[in-house]
Each structure stands twice: as C-alpha cells, then as structure tokens.
Structure 1
Amino acid sequence: MSDNFAAVGLLLAFAVVLPIVVMTIVHLLAPHKPHKEKLTTYECGNLPIGKAWIGFKSNYFLYAIVFAAFSVETIFLYPWALTFRKLGTFAFVEMFVFMIILIVGFWYAWKEGALEWM
C-alpha cells in the first residue's frame, strides 16, 4: 500500500516541479525586446476607444457556475436511474431529498438573479 502512496507522491512532486522548471527555462531563453508598439493595447487591429480596463457584469460568471453545478449534480441522477429497481425505498427517499435540495438551490439562484443575462 505504501507503494501506491509513493507513486502518488512522486506524481504530485513531478506535477509541481515540471511547470516551474519549464517556466524558468522559458524565462531565461526567451528574447525580451520591449517596444512601444508591442506595449500598446491591441483591439482587433483598431485603436482602442476609451479605457482598456472596463467593468462588466458578473452575472455571466454566476450563470456559468450555476450551470456547471447543476450539470454535475444531474450526472448523479443517471446511475441512480439505471439501478432504481434494485436500490429500494431508501434510495428513492434519498433521491427525493437530493432533488429537493436541487430545487431549493435552483429557486435561490433564480431569486438572486443569477440566471438573468441582462
């Protein structure tokens, strides 16, 4: 069993060290020639109008997070539906509670306006 942990530890160390080594090598070997034109803001080949740093509504992110959360949670419904008859009444009650939690979460997201685009 300790071999499994050693393999996971080795993989974790490799996953942490490799990006640091690669980024260091790139930083050392890449040419660094700043130029006035290179440092200007680029906007589809046109000169930018106004500030480059503008604010935008965070509802788009909320919408994406709610979508991701509910899509992951609905994935749990598929295996349950396949083995529904074998699981019995207890599993039906558990899924009923799970669905109630989903519905309450959906209602809360709707109430807070996380599902509105504009």
Structure 2
Amino acid sequence: MSLIDYAVIGLLIITSTVMGTVLILLGHFVRPRKPNPAKLQPYESGVPDVSPPRGRFTPRFYLVALLFVVFDVEAIFLYPWAVAFDALALYGYVQAALFVGILLLGLLYEWRKGALEWV
C-alpha cells in the first residue's frame, strides 16, 4: 500500500468524524425544547408503564446469548475461508477444520455442563 492509500483512509475517518459531530451539534441547536411531564414519562411502544418492571434475567440467559455471539462470529470467520477455498488448498482446509473442531469441543463442554438447558 502506498501513502496515498493511507491518506484516503485518513480522509475518510476525518470526514466521517466531522460530519457526525456537525450533525449531532446541528440537531442539538435546531430541535425544539418543550419538555412537559407527559413527554418525560417512560413508556414502551406507546403504552404507559402500569406495573413494575420484571425481575432480572437469569445468568443462563446471558450464557446462551454469549454462545450465540460466539457461533455467529464463527460464521463470519468461515465466510472468507469459503470464498478463498481454492487458493488455500489443503492448508486452509486443515486450519478451518481445527477452528471448527475447537468450537465444537467448546459446544460439547457447554452442553455437558447443562448450559443449553432452559429449565
């Protein structure tokens, strides 16, 4: 990569930062400011809150969400490998198989520990 390529990336970062800052400041100065008690009340989907909020989620919910994120990231990492499969040949296949194998070991571990049971 030449210096011009880096300059284009730097210009893009500077432009997006300046544009984001200008738009946020513009919205701050242009928007109407007429707060009243009705506007300051919390609501969900246009319905006023009539009961206290639900209790906290169990840690099991967060564990399942984290596992979803891990396997979602796995799919993101496998996509470029699948696109370049011909160029990577056997080495790429072995590396991808190791990657999926390690993730499968983690999934089996979580399964044996009962992390995927929703009871």
- For residues 20 and 31 of structure 1, the distance between their equivalents in structure 2, rounded to whole angstroms, comes to 19
In structure 1, the residue corresponding to 2:40 is in which secondary structure? coil
- Which residue matches 1:105? 106
- Which residue matches 1:4? 5
| Identity fraction in percent | 30
The residue type paired with residue 49 of structure 1 is S
Which TM-score applies when normalising by structure 2? 0.69
- The 1:54–1:16 alpha-carbon spacing in structure 2 relative to 1, beyond 3 Å, is farther
Which TM-score applies when normalising by structure 1? 0.70
Report which structure shows greater RCO (CA 8 Å, sep ≥6). Answer: 1
- For residues 93 and 49 of structure 2, the distance between their equivalents in structure 1, rounded to whole angstroms, comes to 61
CA-atom RMSD in angstroms:
3.2
The residue type paired with residue 45 of structure 1 is V
In structure 1, the residue corresponding to 2:47 is in which secondary structure? coil
Which string of whole-angstrom CA distances, capped at 9 and with x for unpartnered residues, describes residues 86-105 of structure 1? 823x4444333222211122
Which of 44, 49, 52 is matched with 2:51 structurally? 49
In structure 2, the residue corresponding to 1:66 is in which secondary structure? helix
Structure with the higher helix share, 1 or 2: 2
Q: CA deviation at 1:70?
A: 1.5
1:26-105 equivalent positions in 2, closer than 5 A: 26-43=27-44, 44-50=46-52, 52=53, 55-57=56-58, 59-74=60-75, 76=78, 79=82, 83=86, 87-88=89-90, 90-105=91-106
- The farther-off stretch of 59-68 and 9-18 is 59-68
Gaps of at least 5 residues in structure 2 are none
Q: CA deviation at 1:117?
A: 4.4
Gaps of at least 5 residues in structure 1 are none
